[in-house]
């Protein structure tokens, strides 16, 4: 099915995710990682059941941080043993739901978090397997732990773990490794390696203090966001990581410790396109306002929080009529905040034109202000190349609470 056919059939705004591209991204990433290693898919990037299911079928594990993501992972056929629950504030309800579904693996973020996980595990009659999330900014090897870290709600300071490992034990839990997630969206192998070197040396330093049978080195793999372009290549990453691990963690080749990685955007960003219709083009005080049927309630809501780069999307059209300078690209919401870009050159579009925003398979709909102003969510279609897999729309529903 062509894009125009999909847009005609399902209307716009319309997200289309292509499973074939997810498989290509997965193949590229696994080729860039050392063998053996485990790869977690972070559902935060896109929890759509058929997106997540593609990665479940490819053998990924799942990293989830809420009961909603946990449910999405189970629906996507990640077995409970392949799911890890992360996040700095795990409520009892979330933990009990995890236990009820046989999910017993967690990233613990503090002694209190560890105790709370342990109480939930004890209520369920199991022992929870926990990675301890450790916050390191920089470690100078050969000098013990030299922290110049930023304060963070994530994890515990490495110096705390090194000094008082006994504080990281709790009934109902077994600490089985470390979780180190330091950065994101890093397009260059050198910087990625620098980050992994910090993590690997930290893990090697903490091996005496804790049982370390898994080391989750996090990720940071980059992807384009709402722009044309490709996933970065990391041509020599696998070799350089292999050398790094050989130098510091002998045994990793026989999974002792097991080395793991996490990725969200790299795996799914390039699979997604958002199709929109131009609702209006109008002048205002010398400038051109292009009004689309989609806005910050479908894409880029979080960029206002500076958690994501500002969405200044490329608009792709099949109908090239030239370029319009100094445009303001806005959505239908009754707030001036619903502006994707301001002062940009855009293709000269007209009312009724179909336009496409590329590379929005990660941090799209669910990273946006879906409830604000009550417009319907964009329809989400999943295809596999030319084959239609599913079409659905997310709704918010008010339920009575007794
Ligand atoms: C958000 C997150 C990820 C995924 O980040 P990407 O930049 O999408 O790869 C991985 N791990 C943790 C702990 C996260 O919070």
Look up the domain containing 323 and give its range.
3-12+270-393
Ligand 1 proximity of 240 Cβ (cutoff 6 Å): no
Pocket test for ligand 1, best of 60, 264, 367 (most atoms within 8 A of CB): 264
86 alpha carbon to ligand 1 midpoint, in Å? 10
Question: Using the 8-state DSSP alphabet, how is residue 335 labeled?
Answer: S
**122 in a structural domain:** yes
How far, in Å, CA of 129 to CA of 213, rounded? 11
In the listed set 235, 263, 291, which residue is the last one of a domain according to the structure?
263
**DSSP string covering 359-383:** S-SSSSGGGS-TTGGGPPPPEEEEE
Regarding pTM above 0.85, the answer is yes
Do 276 and 175 lie in a common domain? Answer: no
Out of 247, 263, 279, a domain closes at: 263
| Per-residue pLDDT tens listing for the chain (402 residues) | 678 899 999 999 999 999 999 999 999 999 999 999 999 999 999 999 999 999 999 999 999 999 999 999 999 999 999 999 999 999 999 999 999 999 999 999 999 999 999 999 999 999 999 999 999 856 443 333 333 467 889 999 999 999 999 999 999 999 999 999 888 889 999 999 999 999 999 999 998 888 899 999 999 999 999 999 999 999 999 999 999 999 999 999 999 999 999 999 999 999 999 999 999 999 999 999 999 999 999 998 876 655 666 788 888 888 878 999 999 999 999 999 899 999 999 999 999 999 999 999 999 999 999 999 999 999 999 999 999 999 999 999 999 999
CA 30 to ligand 1 center in whole angstroms:
17
Phi, psi of 304 (to 5 degrees): -60, -25
What number does the ligand 1 atom closest to the CA of 179 have? 13
Q: Which of 39, 105, 181, 221 to mutate to test the pocket of ligand 1 (most atoms within 8 A of CB)?
A: 181
Residues 151 and 195 in one domain: yes
Residues 6 or more apart from 223 whose CB is under 8 A from it?
Answer: 185, 231, 232, 265, 266, 269, 270, 359, 362
The total number of structural domains that make up the chain: 2
Does residue 359 contact residue 227 with C-beta atoms inside 8 Å? yes
Domain boundary among 263, 289, 317: 263
Nearest-CA residue for atom 8 of ligand 1: 264
Query: Does 322 lie in the same domain as 251?
Result: no
Q: State the CATH number of the domain containing residue 287.
A: 2.40.37.10
Question: Is residue 387 located within the same domain as residue 274?
Answer: yes
* Pairing assessment for the beta strands 272-284 and 14-18 based on DSSP bridges: antiparallel
Please check whether residue 400 lies inside any domain of the structure: no
Does residue 86 have its Cβ closer than 6 Å to ligand 1?
A: yes
């Amino acid at each position: 099915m062509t894009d125009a056919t999909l847009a005609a059939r399902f209307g716009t705004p319309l997200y289309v995710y292509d499973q074939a591209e997810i498989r290509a991204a997965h193949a590229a990433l696994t080729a860039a990682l050392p063998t053996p290693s485990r790869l977690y898919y972070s559902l935060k990037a896109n929890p759509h059941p058929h997106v997540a299911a593609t990665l479940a079928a490819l053998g990924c594990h799942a990293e989830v941080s809420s009961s909603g993501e946990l449910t999405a992972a189970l629906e996507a056929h990640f077995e409970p043993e392949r799911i890890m629950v992360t996040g700095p504030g795990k409520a009892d309800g979330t933990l009990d739901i995890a236990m009820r579904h046989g999910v017993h693996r967690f990233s613990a973020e503090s002694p209190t978090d560890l105790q709370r996980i342990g109480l939930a595990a004890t209520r369920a009659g199991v022992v929870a397997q926990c990675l301890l999330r450790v916050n390191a900014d920089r470690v100078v090897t050969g000098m013990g732990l030299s922290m110049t870290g930023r304060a963070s709600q994530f994890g515990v300071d490495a110096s705390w773990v090194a000094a008082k490992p006994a504080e990281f034990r709790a009934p109902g839990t077994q600490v089985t490794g470390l979780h180190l997630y330091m950065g994101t969206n890093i397009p260059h192998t050198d910087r990625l390696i620098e980050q992994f070197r910090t993590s690997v040396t930290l893990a090697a330093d903490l091996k005496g203090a804790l049982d370390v049978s898994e080391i989750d080195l996090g990720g940071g793999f980059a992807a384009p966001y709402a722009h044309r372009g490709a996933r970065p290549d990391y041509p020599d990453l696998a070799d350089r990581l292999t050398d790094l691990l050989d130098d510091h963690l002998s045994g990793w080749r026989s999974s002792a410790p097991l080395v793991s990685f996490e990725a969200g955007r790299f795996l799914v960003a390039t699979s997604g396109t958002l199709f929109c219709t131009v609702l209006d083009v109008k002048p205002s005080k010398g400038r051109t306002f292009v009004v689309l049927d989609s806005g910050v309630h479908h894409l880029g809501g979080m960029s206002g929080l500076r958690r994501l780069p500002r969405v200044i999307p490329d608009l792709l059209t099949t109908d090239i009529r030239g370029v319009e300078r100094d445009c303001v690209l806005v959505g239908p919401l009754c707030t001036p905040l619903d502006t994707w870009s301001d002062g940009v050159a855009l293709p000269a579009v007209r009312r009724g034109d179909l336009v496409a925003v590329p590379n929005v398979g990660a941090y799209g709909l669910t990273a946006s202000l879906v409830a604000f102003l009550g417009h319907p969510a964009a329809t989400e279609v999943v295809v596999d190349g030319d084959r239609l897999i599913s079409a659905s729309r997310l709704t918010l529903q008010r339920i009575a609470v007794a």
